[in-house]
């Protein structure tokens, strides 16, 4: 993979500027935009970016930092899913706590935002508290965010509890957007100032990249990634008016800046040091770019991936037609087509060929195509024994290990009992083996079959490869590929006419 980003330089720059902000205050509340861990979007659009760059930076600052995690009660109630992990936001909070502890970072507490006694949220609170995790409940504030007089008062921020913190850097993070990070930071600023503490607020930003052109594919890829939030990149007029410098920010930050500035000034009783929303953020990503052409191409491919993702989410009913149309407009703005993703056409052609050979012309013929690092395309199709995803994995490791197609990596003697177990004992409607099951069978075979062991060792070479399926993959299949580091897209077509048993 071509590298277009200097990860070490970025970490050095970002750390330096965060510490500069900290030095201005006794304590800095640092709102983290985007994902704290496993920022796969950043690693895809900035080849060379470490997906765990933020957590590694915090690890360096761990003696000075503690972490507050926010989660919106409404997201818990409606079981909102974090798409990249396929888990609900409340479960992601638990995962996040475990991961942060694994990096020797102190988790101060979990804040339930806009809490109003929701039943599922109460169960989650009990679960946390009975594991010894501090939980704070913040209610929605009447008039937020525009009625500054009401917000900055004992009936506003004063009505929500103060979170006890001890370290100079307090990181405020969340499973996803709309979790109440900003409101939590401002709530703390109010209480800290009431106590006579000199504290500040800043944002740890990644996207959009303020010093990269507005219509650069890197910034357009951010719009594609947040199309469901209706985020739109804009020139920061406040920044330009103050400094005469063009800076890119997004609509929500620009629209909210005057209000946030007034709230901060009302809390502190003095003029804000920030003259623009760009000022509020610490974002040195642009200074880490070493090859703009590599970043542009990676960003274009990410936009196409996001197009497929939105298409599937529209098919599933997760997003409305307006979101899907906006995604199409983003594609058209760069003259992109779905077929510009190299693994799409081979998958579709093979599926069409299978369908042509079928007696039932309406039958769906799922095919998966995998593009290896050297550009080789490997395909797999559904059979009675295994599904297309499992087949493409076996075909890929065979190719990488130079093993003939005629050689069985997994003996039919092993596969048949597993199929029987699924169909006869467990009563599953889908008896063909999926990718996880086939990998388990391969690992068992590797214990006695040296050829299977050689193939198994090639799985690591799939990291960074590209895959396209002609039908919607199950969440389980997508998770297997994500764990292998494979980037997945799907055509918005169901693998069968079944409603419940389709995935």
- Residue 286 — pLDDT band, cuts 50, 70, 90? very high
| Whether the predicted pLDDT of 503 surpasses 60 | no
Mean pLDDT of 147-160: 95
Cβ 456 vs Cβ 442: under 8 Å:
yes
Radius of gyration (Cα) for the chain, nearest Å?
Answer: 25
Using alpha carbons, list the distances in angstroms from residue 23 to 16, 64, 168. 11, 12, 9
The Cα 33–Cα 464 span in angstroms is 25
My answer on whether omega of the bond before 145 falls inside 30° of 0, hence cis, is yes
CB within 8 Å of 418: residues ≥ 6 apart: 433, 437, 441
| Whether the predicted pLDDT of 502 surpasses 70 | no
The Cα 478–Cα 154 span in angstroms is 48
Q: What is the pLDDT of residue 359?
A: 60
Residue whose C-alpha is closest to residue 454's, from 399, 387, 391: 399
Cβ 495 vs Cβ 388: under 8 Å:
no
The Cα 214–Cα 249 span in angstroms is 9
- Residue 23 — pLDDT band, cuts 50, 70, 90? confident
Q: What is the pLDDT of residue 425?
A: 82
* Residue percentage of the chain with pLDDT more than 90: 79
Using alpha carbons, list the distances in angstroms from residue 413 to 189, 364, 370, 408, 448. 66, 29, 28, 11, 14
**Tokens (6 digits) for 107:** 């988790």
Residue whose C-alpha is closest to residue 258's, from 279, 232, 238: 238
Residue whose C-alpha is closest to residue 17's, from 344, 286, 249, 263: 286
The Cα 89–Cα 434 span in angstroms is 26
The Cα 200–Cα 26 span in angstroms is 8
Q: Which regions of the chain carry the CATH code 3.10.630.10?
A: 27-204
Higher per-residue pLDDT: 487 or 423: 487
* Maximum CA extent, the chain: 79
Q: What is the pLDDT of residue 501?
A: 56
DSSP 41-65: HHHHHSTT--TTHHHHHHHHTTTTE
Q: Which regions of the chain carry the CATH code 3.40.140.40?
A: 342-490
**Tokens (6 digits) for 252:** 């929500």
What is the rounded average pLDDT for all residues in the chain? 93
The tens digit of pLDDT for each residue in 332-381 reads: 999 999 999 999 999 999 999 998 887 665 678 999 999 999 999 999 99
Alpha helices in 344-407 (DSSP H): 344-357, 388-400
The Cα 438–Cα 346 span in angstroms is 23
**Tokens (6 digits) for 116:** 């109003």
Query: Which residue's entry shows tokens 């997508």?
Result: 478
With DSSP H G I counted as helix, E B as strand and the rest as coil, what are the percentages for the chain, rounded to 5? 50, 15, 40
The Cα 209–Cα 225 span in angstroms is 14
DSSP 129-158: HTTT--EEE-PPPTTTTT-HHHHSSTTTGG
| Whether the predicted pLDDT of 384 surpasses 90 | no
- Residue 95 — pLDDT band, cuts 50, 70, 90? very high
Superfamily of domain 342-490: Domain of unknown function (DUF1846), C-terminal subdomain (3.40.140.40)
Q: What is the pLDDT of residue 361?
A: 58
SS3 assignment, position 22: helix
Cβ 222 vs Cβ 206: under 8 Å:
no
Cβ 86 vs Cβ 478: under 8 Å:
yes
SS3 assignment, position 108: strand
The Cα 376–Cα 163 span in angstroms is 54
My answer on whether omega of the bond before 208 falls inside 30° of 0, hence cis, is yes
SS3 assignment, position 234: strand
Indicate the DSSP class of residue 289.
B
What are the beta bridge partners of residue 140? none
Cβ 213 vs Cβ 286: under 8 Å:
no
The Cα 206–Cα 42 span in angstroms is 8
The Cα 315–Cα 324 span in angstroms is 10
The Cα 81–Cα 121 span in angstroms is 15
- Residue 249 — pLDDT band, cuts 50, 70, 90? very high
- Residue 217 — pLDDT band, cuts 50, 70, 90? very high
DSSP 370-424: EE-TTS-EEEEE--SSB-HHHHHHHHHHHHHTT--TTS-SS-HHHHHHHHHIIII
Q: What is the pLDDT of residue 409?
A: 92
Q: Note if the pTM is more than 0.85.
A: yes
The tens digit of pLDDT for each residue in 397-407 reads: 999 999 998 88
DSSP 54-99: HHHHHHHTTTTEEEEEEEEHHHHHTT-EETTTTEEHHHHHHHHHHH
The Cα 12–Cα 284 span in angstroms is 9
Q: What is the pLDDT of residue 500?
A: 62
- Residue 229 — pLDDT band, cuts 50, 70, 90? confident
* Residue percentage of the chain with pLDDT more than 70: 98
Tell the CATH topology of 27-204: dip2346 fold like (3.10.630)
Mean pLDDT of 236-240: 97
């Amino acid at each position: 993979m071509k590298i277009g980003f200097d990860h070490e330089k970025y970490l050095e720059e970002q750390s330096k500027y965060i510490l500069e902000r900290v030095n201005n205050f006794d304590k800095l509340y640092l709102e983290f935009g985007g994902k704290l861990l496993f920022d796969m979007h950043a690693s895809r659009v900035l080849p060379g970016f470490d997906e765990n760059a933020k957590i590694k930076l915090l690890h360096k600052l761990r003696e000075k930092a503690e972490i507050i995690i926010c989660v919106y009660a409404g997201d818990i109630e409606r079981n909102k899913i974090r798409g990249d992990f396929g888990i609900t936001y409340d479960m992601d909070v638990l995962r996040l706590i475990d991961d942060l502890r694994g990096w020797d970072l102190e988790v101060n507490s979990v804040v339930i935002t806009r809490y109003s006694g929701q039943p599922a949220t109460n169960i989650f609170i009990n679960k946390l508290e009975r594991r010894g995790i501090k939980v704070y409940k913040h209610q929605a504030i009447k008039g937020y965010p525009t009625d500054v007089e009401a917000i900055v008062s004992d009936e506003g921020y004063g009505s929500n509890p103060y979170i006890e913190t001890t370290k100079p850097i307090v990181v405020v993070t969340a499973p996803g957007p709309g979790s109440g990070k900003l409101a939590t930071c401002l709530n703390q600023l109010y209480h800290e100032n009431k106590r006579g503490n000199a504290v500040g607020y800043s944002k740890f930003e990644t996207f959009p990249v303020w010093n990269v052109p507005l219509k650069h594919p890197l910034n357009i890829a951010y719009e594609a990634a947040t199309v469901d939030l209706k985020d739109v990149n804009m020139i920061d007029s406040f920044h330009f008016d103050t400094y005469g410098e063009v800076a890119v920010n997004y609509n929500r930050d620009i629209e909210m800046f005057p209000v946030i500035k007034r709230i901060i000034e009302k809390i502190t009783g003095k003029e804000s040091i920030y003259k623009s929303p760009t000022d509020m953020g610490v974002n040195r990503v642009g200074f880490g770019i070493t090859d703009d052409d590599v970043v542009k191409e990676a960003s274009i491919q990410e936009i196409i991936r996001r197009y497929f993702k939105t298409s599937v989410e529209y098919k599933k009913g997760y997003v409305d037609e307006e979101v899907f149309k906006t995604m199409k407009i983003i594609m058209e703005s760069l003259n992109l087509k779905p077929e510009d993703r190299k693994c799409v056409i081979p998958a579709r052609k093979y599926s069409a060929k299978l369908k042509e050979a079928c007696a039932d012309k309406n039958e769906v013929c799922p095919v998966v195509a995998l593009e290896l690092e050297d550009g080789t395309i490997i395909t797999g199709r559904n059979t009675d024994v295994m599904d297309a995803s499992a087949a493409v994995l076996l075909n890929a490791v065979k190719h990488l290990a130079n093993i003939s197609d005629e050689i069985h990596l997994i003996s039919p003697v092993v596969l048949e009992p597993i199929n029987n177990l699924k169909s006869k004992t467990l009563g599953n409607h889908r008896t063909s083996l999926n990718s996880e099951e086939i990998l388990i069978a391969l690992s068992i075979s590797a214990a006695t079959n040296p050829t299977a062991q050689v193939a198994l060792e090639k799985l690591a070479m799939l990291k960074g490869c590209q895959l396209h399926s002609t039908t919607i993959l199950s969440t389980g299949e997508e998770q297997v590929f994500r764990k292998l580091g494979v980037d997945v897209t799907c055509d918005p077509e169901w693998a069968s006419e079944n409603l419940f048993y389709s995935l």
